[in-house]
Structure 1
Amino acid sequence: MGIKDFSLLFTVCFVWGLNIVITRWVVFDAAVPPIFFAAIRFLGVAVLLIPFLRPIPEDIKTLFLISFFIGAGHFALLFVGLANAEASAASVVSQLAVPFSTLMSMAFLGETIGWRRGIGIMLAFAGVLLIAVDPASFTVSFGLLYIAGAAFIGSVGGILMKRMKPVSAMQMQVWIALFSFAPLFVVSAFLEQGQWTTYVAGGWLVWVATAFAVVGVSIFGHGAFYHLIKKYDISLLSPLTLMTPIWGVVLSIVLLNDAITPQLILGAVVSLGGVLVIALRPNRTMPEASMGEKIGSGGS
């Protein structure tokens, strides 16, 4: 990979990692209701990418299901989780999408795994348990359970994507956004309060965060990543995308003053080590599984 393309991938991973931190700030510090913020993000993507709606995909029913798993369902759980868990831990736990995708491909696509990937899957889950479980009280972090759920749902969407005819990156983005923003607004109306008031009160910082999520993450990040996928093998790109959780941890410590604990460090090393093993030995039936939900959602 040339220095230009590596710099592009480095930037994409930085943007994705920073987005976890920014979203945590929006839904926790600025107290914007998380499901509402997810709806606003998808609305922005749908509006900006309207030109990519046509031609209408042939398998629109499957795309609608994908939109729930990779769009509305995934982001609702992810943002609720970020409202209740530190960004540093969430950055690592979100990587469960990789072992989940591998397990899904085994169950539904007939993929077989060797002992190395089996160990990688066990390490990924063991590291997350180290992070999520409080050893003093043996309680599990409420927010990180939502993050894990988001990773699982995103993996289901990845399997569904395997079953439909390919569409362009931007077209996938706009249809997922179109199918996602209205249901999220409805759910937010029933479960959350003071949405618009809180969002407007957040001022320009919240609005900039929204623009960053829409333009920087969903459009630039996703578009650039698809450009790289067309040029390079998944087996090369997949391990390098582990820069994303590393950036997430570093930036959450620097910008949000997340605590650095031995438990977090050990859990991150174990879990990301397991993810790396899986990424280095990608699926045969679903090579993109190691990318997790990034394939459909443009990162977090």
Structure 2
Amino acid sequence: MNFRDFILLSSVCFVWGLNIVVTRWVVFDAAVPPLFFAAARFLGVALCLLPFLRPIPKDLKTLFLISFFIGSGHFALLFVGLANAEASAAAVVGQMGVPFATLMSMAFLGETIGWRRGLGIMLAFAGVLLIAVDPGSFSISFGLLYIGAAAFVGAVGGILMKRMSPVTALQSQAWIGLFSFAPLFVVSALLERGQVGSYISGGWWVWIATAFAVVGVSIFGHGGFYHLIKKYDISLLSPLTLMTPIWGVVLSIVLLNEAITPQLILGSAISLGGVLIIALRPNKTLPDAGVVKKLGSGGS
């Protein structure tokens, strides 16, 4: 990989990591209801990417189903999780989509794994368990359960997207945005209160955060990463995307003043080490399932 493309990939991973921190600030510090913020994000994506709705994809029914897993379902769980868990831990737990995709390939597509990937899966889960469990009370973080569920749902969507007819990154984003914002607004109206008032009272920073999620993450992040996918093998790109959770942890400590604990450091090292092992020996049946999930959800 040449230096210019490495800088581009590093910038994309930085934007994805920063997005976790920004979203945590919006749904926790600014107290914007998470489902409403997810709906506003997808509405912005749909409006900005209207030209990419054409030509209409052939397999629109499958894309509608994918929109639930990668779009509304994934982001509803993710944003609710971020409202109840620190961004640093969420950045690591969100990477569970990689071992989840591998396990689903085994269960439904006949993928076989060797001892190295098996070890990677066990390490990934063990590290997350170390981060999520409070050793004093043996209770599990409520928010991180949602983050883990979001990773699972996103992995399902990634596998479904891999099996449908190819569409460009921005075209898939346009349709996912179109299919996702209305259901999220409906669910928000049923479960949340004071959405519009909270969003408006958040002021310019919340509006800037929304613009960043739409333009920075969905357009720049996806466009840049899709450009790299066309030039380089997945086996090279996938391990390097682990810069995303590292940036997420660093930025959450710097910008949100989150505490860095030995438990977080050790759990992150174990979990991301396991994810790296899996990424270095990718699925044979769906070699880019984890990367496709990133294209659908913006790396979360």
TM category (shorter chain) comes to over 0.9
Deviations 1:189-233 (A, max 9, x none): 000000000000000000000000000001110111000000000
**Hey, what's the Cα distance between the residues in 1 that align with 2:226 and 2:170?**
9
**Deviation above 3 Å: which 4+ runs of structure 1?**
none
What residue number does 2:283 align with? 283
Could you say which residue in structure 2 is the equivalent of 1:152? 152
| Equivalent residue, structure 2, for 1:254 | 254
Distance 1:163 1:265 in 2: 36
Contact 2:53-2:171 within 8 A present in 1 as well: yes
The question of 1:58 aligning with 2:65 is answered: no
Q: Is the 8 A contact 1:98 1:292 kept in 2?
A: no
Moved more, 51-60 or 106-115: 106-115
Task: Give 1:109 deviation, angstroms.
Answer: 1.8
Percent identity of equivalent pairs: 81
Kept after mapping to 2: 8 A contact 1:72/1:181: yes
User: In 1, Cα distance between the equivalents of 2:298 and 2:192?
Assistant: 26
1:293·1:299 contact (CA, 8 Å) conserved in 2? yes
* Contact residue 89 and residue 131 of structure 2 kept, 8 A: yes
Cα deviation for residue 292 of structure 1 reads 6.4
Equivalent-residue separation in structure 2 for 1:91 and 1:195 (angstroms): 26
Query: What's the offset of the Cα at 1:289?
Result: 2.5
Measure, in 2, the Cα distance between the counterparts of 1:292 and 1:253: 29
Structure 2 counterpart of 1:284, one-letter code: K
CA contact (8 A) 2:128 2:267 kept: yes
User: Which residue of structure 2 lines up, in the alignment, with residue 230 of structure 1?
Assistant: 230
Asked if the contact 1:127–1:269 (Cα under 8 Å) also holds between the matched residues in 2, the reply is: yes
Matches within 5 A, 1:75-224: 75-224=75-224
Q: Give the aligned residue type for 2:203.
A: G
211-220 or 157-166, which deviates more: 157-166
Q: Distance in 1 between matches of 2:159 and 2:169?
A: 17
Give the partner amino acid of 1:219. Answer: I
Superposition CA RMSD, Å: 0.7
Aligned-partner residue type, residue 274 of structure 1: G
Measure how far apart 1:291 and its partner are.
Answer: 2.6
For the 8 Å contact 2:155–2:290, the answer to whether it is kept is no
User: After the TM superposition, which of the residue ranges 58-67 and 162-171 deviates more from structure 2?
Assistant: 162-171
How far, CA to CA, are the matches of 2:127 and 2:236 in structure 1? Answer: 24
CA separation in 2, counterparts of 1:99 and 1:22?
A: 26
Cα-to-partner distance string for 1:70-121 (whole Å, 9 max, x where unaligned)? 0000000000000000000000000000000111111122211111000000
Give the letter for the 1:47 counterpart: L
Report the TM-score when normalising by structure 2.
0.99
Amino acid at match of 2:70: I
Match of 2:7, as an amino acid? S
Alignment-mate amino acid for residue 263 of structure 1: Q
CA distance in 2: counterparts of 1:295 and 1:214, whole angstroms: 13
- Find the aligned partners of 2:225 and 2:272 in 1 and give their Cα distance: 21
Q: 8 Å contact 2:161–2:292 — kept in the other structure?
A: no
Figure out how many residues of one structure are paired with residues of the other and give that number: 300
**Structure-1 separation of matches of 2:230 and 2:111:** 23
TM normalised by structure 1 equals 0.99
Partner amino acid for 2:127?
Answer: G
Gaps of 5+ in 1: none
Other-structure match for 2:19: 19
In structure 2, distance between residues paired with 1:231 and 1:245: 24
Q: Report the 3-state secondary structure (helix = DSSP H, G, I; strand = E; otherwise coil) of the residue aligned with 1:293.
A: helix
Give CA deviations for 1:8-49 in whole Å, capped at 9, x if unaligned: 000000000000000000000000000000000000000010
CA distance in 2 between counterparts of 1:7 and 1:219 reads 17
Paired residues of 2:41 and 2:213 also in contact (CA < 8 A)? yes
Q: Is the CA contact 2:162–2:289 (under 8 Å) kept in the aligned structure 1?
A: no
Is the 1:288–1:295 Cα contact (8 Å) retained in structure 2? no
The question of whether the paired residues in 2 share the 8 Å contact of 1:170 and 1:223 is answered with: yes
Distance 1:299 1:282 in 2: 18
Alpha-carbon separation, structure 2, partners of 1:65 and 1:183:
13
